[in-house]
Amino acid sequence: MNFAPGQDLSLQFSSREELRERAFEGIWKNELHAVFSDVAPYYDTASKVASLGLYGRWLDDFASMIELHPGQEVLDLCAGTNAIGLGLLKREPGIRVSAMDRSREMQAVGQVIARSRGFEIESTIGDAHKLPFPDDSFDIVTLGWASRHLRIMEVFREVRRVLKPGGTFYHCDMLRPQSRLVELLYCTYLKACVSGTALLFRSGPEAWSCRDYFVQAIQRFYSAAELSELLAHVGFSEVGCRQATGGVVAFHKARKA
């Protein structure tokens, strides 16, 4: 699903988002929440297994690109078990990290991990499409491993709203590879991997029912280049991107002018 050259980008982004929502609305509202509630206790371990050990390297690579200074206000959006926020606090304990996620179960695990490591992260349970924060609240916003499950154009606009002028947005996720061959190989592996991981960790019926969804969510999502265009389209400047693992994962950085 590539953009057609010469056509209006605004229309193409809106059409893509409408198609994604139409295909996945029921899963996003109900089933996916149940999946993450079920997998919360073993999410980090399962991520390492499913990625063949690359998950930790991706986290380190993402954290290393984030410029930190004491006193900064950081929002870790769709924070899950706080892996990103904890990585940032380890590098710079002088920042203040607020975590937001829809899943109470994922955040409960994340809060236990944070306290066990001597860190404090303020937790908010809520919807990433409607952030409960005033305009210009944060120096940095991070969003990792969640975009393909969101109405991402809406979320990007909300991120830009809550960033302070000059603030920076850092994004990472598994995206649709630009190469059709890599996409085919990756989606074939992902389908087998989701089933294998669910079996290994004895996941509940919700995870099993979403096996095909996790592949389709990638196929209907954006490539790294398209996501860069989307960030610019919603008003970010200085958009940069670095890809990893053949374009399966990408790290984006963008600034609010």
pLDDT, position 5: 57
Backbone angles phi, psi at 134, to 5 degrees: -65, 165
CA distance 201 to 39: 9
pLDDT for 143 beyond 80: yes
Tell me yes or no: is domain 9-180+207-255 CATH 3.40.50.150: yes
CA distance 201 to 32: 17
Which whole-number Å values give the CA distances from 26 to 20, 103, 213, 221, 250, in the listed order?
11, 17, 11, 17, 27
Query: Per residue in 171-225, pLDDT tens?
Result: 999 999 989 999 999 999 998 988 888 888 888 887 888 889 999 999 999 999 9
- Looking at this protein, which amino acid is placed at residue 112? V
Check if the beta carbon of residue 125 is closer than 8 Å to that of residue 102.
yes
Beta strands in 78-121, from DSSP E residues, in sequence order: 96-101
pLDDT for 3 beyond 80: no
pLDDT for 1 beyond 80: no
Helices (H) and strands (E) in the chain, counts: 11, 7
Cα–Cα–Cα angle for 28, 75, 230, nearest 5°? Answer: 60
What residue ranges do the domains of the chain occupy?
9-180+207-255
Query: Per residue in 230-242, pLDDT tens?
Result: 999 999 999 999 9
Q: Scan for tokens 């393909």, then name that residue.
A: 148
Query: Per residue in 61-104, pLDDT tens?
Result: 999 999 999 999 999 999 999 999 999 999 999 999 999 999 99
SS3 81: coil
